Amino acid sequence: MLNVVIFGAPGSGKGTQSELIIKEYALDHISTGDVLRSEMKNETELGKIAKDYIEKGQLVPDELIVNMLAKVLDSKANSKGVIFDGFPRTIPQAEALKKMLNERGTDVSIMLNLQVDEDELIKRLLERGKVSGRSDDNLETIKSRLEVYHKQTAPLADFYVNEGKHVAIKGMGTIEEIFGRIKEAINAVK
């Protein structure tokens, strides 16, 4: 199985590049952000809890995310591989993912770490905010999301360096240029 973790700050292009990767490699896509937004839209129990965190730019608690992901993963049992988009975001999430995949006889194949300058991240998210209708694409929430990213999520890079899975990808430039770099990295491990 080809299991790809796509990682980076908010606005680094995770969702954008995931769409291209799933087409090229016929992978299943699990975006924790998309699953949470769908739970919010349907006003489920999880959606109601998640809303408070997301609007403040905070991470949803690990336990809720890990339980949610386990269910989604079970629905992809016959998959050729999965792209994990926006997950893991903390060390406990990365440990839980490793355990879940190992129990299913597989593991993460590669972790792509998209590197984008902070002013470019803010610019992209504000631009998206004009049309997305997302309650977290405003300057105040973007600033909290970036702070949370630096404190809680960025240290995860070392976890994957230790696993020998980490590949840094320059995330500046056109969407096609960045995808070219990603394909090179994936083709080297598949």
To ligand B4P, the closest distance from the beta carbon of 131 in angstroms equals 8
The reply, when asked if residue 173 is annotated as ligand binding, is yes
Mark whether 145 is an active-site residue.
yes
Mention every residue, 6+ apart, whose C-beta is less than 8 A from residue 73.
Answer: 30, 82, 100, 104
The reply, when asked if residue 16 is annotated as ligand binding, is yes
To ligand B4P, the closest distance from the beta carbon of 140 in angstroms equals 13
Per DSSP, which regions of 9-81 are E strands? 28-31
Sign, CA torsion 128/66/68/105: positive
The reply, when asked if residue 133 is annotated as ligand binding, is no
Nearer residue to ligand B4P within complex by CB, 56 or 104: 56
The reply, when asked if residue 33 is annotated as ligand binding, is no
To ligand B4P, the closest distance from the beta carbon of 188 in angstroms equals 22
State the residue number with the nearest CB to ligand B4P. 33
Nearer residue to ligand B4P within complex by CB, 71 or 105: 71
- Apex 84 CA angle, 79 and 90, nearest 5: 140
- Contact set with ligand B4P (CB under 6 A): 10-16, 32-33, 36, 53-54, 57, 59-60, 65, 86-87, 89, 93, 124-125, 128, 136, 145, 174-175, 178
Q: How far is CA 158 from CA 47, 49, 151, 168, 169, in A?
A: 31, 30, 13, 12, 15
To ligand B4P, the closest distance from the beta carbon of 146 in angstroms equals 10
- For the chain, the distance separating the N- and C-terminal CA atoms, rounded to the nearest angstrom, is 9
Mark whether 124 is an active-site residue.
no
Mark whether 89 is an active-site residue.
yes
166 phi and psi, to 5 degrees? -80, 130
**83 three-state secondary structure:** strand
Amino acid at site 1: M
Mark whether 104 is an active-site residue.
no
Q: What are the residue numbers of the active site?
A: 14, 89, 128, 134, 145
Binding positions: 11-16, 32, 37, 58-60, 86-89, 93, 128, 134, 145, 173
